[in-house]
Amino acid sequence: MNTSFRIAGTSRMWGMALASTLCFVLGLVAAGWLLAPAEAIGGDKGPSTQSILEKATAFHGGAKALGRELAIVRAEEGDMVMGDEKVTLKCEWQFQPPDKRAVQSIVKIGALQMNVSQAVVGDKGWVKVGPALTSDLTPEQVHGLSWEHDNHVKNVQLLATVQRTHTMTAPQPIRIGDRDAWQISFRDKKDKTRMFTAFFDKTTGQVLGDETERVVAALGSNNSREKPSKYRVLFHTYVDVDGIKMPETMSIFRDGAIVVEVRKAQVRVVNAIDPKLFVKSN
């Protein structure tokens, strides 16, 4: 018999051949779906990573607006969750390009008010709590504070550079609250130990938030050490800042538990930040 495939002249044989072929194809799909980065689980065909980033860039103001080096001040109010208690926070985050970050916080616990100042210049950082002496931050804490600062201040501006500075995974579907989203993981090209995941609304391209593992900047002795925790930041409402849609309210989760709720924020672009904020002092 000729070994080439022949379609029988009956509908029964045609049906059997078709069923056999379908079973074979489905078996391959079931065994190898992880190898298809452009395909999303659940039947949706995923767009390319680049197209998702382009959509997000357009939603948040466009490449030209996002790519500007801006000195930014963000004043915000919120609540920090400490056990069963909520502590009132007022913070002013300041960014001076390319690598200077400072935040001054007023923490109110009942009648007690505590002032906290933190700053990062390049790869060095420090923290001062109330009248205590200034303490240096560890490299892990500097990275953690820098990332937290960028979430509050630069946030969506990272879209302008991420394709040049990071390698990226294929998009995967995820549900963020009541939104269908794509998640993409990014790894720093220079320091491959640094990576994060960002979430993009499927319909609009809006950045819904991000997730990363980091060590928080301790509010005490520079000898205090914490193990890395997984932080997820979810952006809720947005405000227009010089043509850029930046987050106004947000929630911050640590290892799945809510730790900070930002109620409102005022964000503005300035000519320059006061250089005294970045000078270490006791």
**Residue 153 near residue 93 (C-beta atoms within 8 A):** yes
**pLDDT per residue as tens digits for the range 216-225:** 755 444 444 5
Buried b (16+ CB within 10 A) or exposed e, 135-165: bebbebbbbbbbbbbbbbbbbbbbbbebeee
**Residue 96 near residue 125 (C-beta atoms within 8 A):** no
Quick one: what percent of the chain has pLDDT higher than 90?
68
Residue 109 main-chain phi, psi, to 5 deg: -120, 95
Nearest to 101 by CA among 109, 92, 113, 93: 93
Would the pLDDT of 13 be above 50? no
Would the pLDDT of 187 be above 60? yes
The CATH classification number of 49-278 equals 2.50.20.10
Predicted local distance difference test score (pLDDT) of residue 264? 94
Quick one: what percent of the chain has pLDDT higher than 70?
80
CA 31 centroid distance within chain: 32
**Residue 123 near residue 139 (C-beta atoms within 8 A):** yes
**pLDDT per residue as tens digits for the range 132-163:** 899 999 898 899 899 999 999 999 999 999 99
Predicted local distance difference test score (pLDDT) of residue 75? 98
